Structure 1
Amino acid sequence: MTDAPLTTVTNAARLLKAFRAQEATLGVSELARRLDLGKSAVHRLLTTLAAEGLIEQDPHTGGYRLGVVMIELGEAVKVHLDLHAAAGPVLAHLRDETGETCQVGVLDGVDVVYVDRLESAHSLRLFTETGRRVPAHATSSGKVLLAHLPEAEREERIAGPFPQLTPHTLVTADALRAELAAARARGWAEAVHEREIGVVSIAAPVRDRYGEVVAALSIGAPTARFGAAARRRHARSLVEAGEAISRRLGWTPEREGRGA
């Protein structure tokens, strides 16, 4: 019983991989032969995957092919691979210029996931590892990413209420809505003591070639080193670094604002 779900997932993955061949479509019989599975099992897998948009059936031939969702997933993977390559040199330069921890985050639901990160050389520094998931409402990266969503999607994600991580955390939709408007207006966001007392960060948007905000570039540091004056001083460099990564992704300035 424990292994059955894993076997099903494995077979579903094998079935999807079968479509890496160049055929326009594949039928149940051919898939059963390639996977060494019964036709009924293959049909059940196809029905389930089709319901999720991963597979679709050609109405004319009855054969199956990869669905639109697989194209969307492929584009998401490409964006992340491109993002890592584009961000690397800029991230290193920003960390060296500011001396503080710099990172790149992407939005996943109501969380931010950090996908790239370079630590400060200071003995007192932040320790948020790459891959960590944090609440978007309490981070500067999350505010940037939420701020540039289409309005309907943004309103859905900030419906709240949100967990109060510190006494400074914004927990209502109205408070967060005002903060996001401010971030859009000035081109960067900040979070002061909102996720953790003593920690402050600022973030700016990273855009793809279509002008859509796909990531946030942020600088984080202990409050003792990153007061209001330091944040204002580094904000310009941060915004310019975000634009530099965006250009490496194919963005041009005349497209700015299309994703806002």
Structure 2
Amino acid sequence: MGDAGGGDGIVRRATGVGVLDRVVAILDAVEARPMGASELARHLGLAVPTVHRLAAAMVVHGLLFRDAEGRHHVGSRFASTALAAAASPVLEELRRETGETAQVWVPRGDSRVCLACVESTSELRASLPVGTALPLSAKGSAAQALTEEPGESSRRWFESVSVRTPGLCSVSAPVHYATEIVAAVCVAAPVSRVRAEGPGAQWGALVVAAAERLEEALLSR
């Protein structure tokens, strides 16, 4: 059952689909505690190259997150379900506080996807339906928040004014899970309703507070 043999070790063949069973075994192991690929291989009795290959693919698909020390954690794909459940009351409160459209965005490869949205009740408002996908390269405030390096700065907000869509502005803050940025909370509004100092000065503190409430909700699930 050693690494060199490439056997299944303690991996249970629950389905008989070898790759799937190994992926589930890796998830079970890192859910108990973070592990590097070599430690995972020893723990599961799998070949080290096999675990490296599977873990790398799982990171790409958001099933695992690899921290700066090379340890693997359960990835952001699993946080999205909890985020969707927790987002509605947080966004409702944020809309009430700002009067503007409140959204949660999550990263998906090279894009960001709108996971939840509570629109402003004003006739003139920012409006994007849930499921909308936009490239992360389009540097709106949510894209900036999602692509910030974790730990790069203290908690802060990002703003954009007429960057992606002329006449619209937004302010966003990252949502952290473990050491990973898993989402961004965003308030979007017409520029005509923003004070001269900009959307960040007007709503940044409220957006950061909403992001913190989502983080607390993730930790409690």
What is the TM-score with the length of structure 1 in the denominator?
A: 0.56
Aligned equivalents of 2:108, 2:129: Cα separation in 1: 17
Q: Equivalent residue of 2:219, what SS? A: coil
Which residue does 1:146 correspond to in 2? 147
1:194 aligns with 2:182: no
**Is the contact made by 1:25 and 1:58 (CA closer than 8 Å) also made in structure 2?**
no
**Structure 2 unmatched runs, 5+:** 1-10, 26-43, 48-53, 65-73
Name whichever structure is richer in strand by fraction. 2
1:116 aligns with 2:116: yes
Per-residue deviation at 1:110?
Answer: 2.8
Residues paired across the two proteins, number: 170
| RMSD of aligned residue pairs (Cα, Å) | 3.3
Name whichever structure is richer in helix by fraction. 1
Per-residue deviation at 1:229?
Answer: 3.0
Aligned equivalents of 2:161, 2:133: Cα separation in 1: 18
1:132 aligns with 2:132: yes
Q: Which amino acid aligns with 1:250?
A: L
**Structure 1 unmatched runs, 5+:** 1-22, 32-44, 61-66, 151-180, 252-260
Aligned equivalents of 1:118, 1:237: Cα separation in 2: 15
Per-residue deviation at 1:55?
Answer: 8.4
Aligned equivalents of 1:221, 1:197: Cα separation in 2: 11
**Is the contact made by 1:202 and 1:220 (CA closer than 8 Å) also made in structure 2?**
yes
1:220 aligns with 2:211: no
User: 1:1-260 to 2 correspondence within 5 Å?
Assistant: 24-25=12-13, 69=58, 72=63, 75-136=75-136, 137-149=138-150, 184=153, 187-208=156-177, 210-229=178-197, 231=199, 232-250=201-219
Aligned equivalents of 1:147, 1:55: Cα separation in 2: 30
Q: Equivalent residue of 2:91, what SS? A: helix
Per-residue deviation at 1:134?
Answer: 1.1
* Structure number, greater radius of gyration: 1
Change (3 A) 1:148 1:71: closer
Aligned equivalents of 1:55, 1:138: Cα separation in 2: 36
Q: Deviations over 1:131-166 (max 9, x none)?
A: 11112232101101111358xxxxxxxxxxxxxxxx
Per-residue deviation at 1:195?
Answer: 0.5
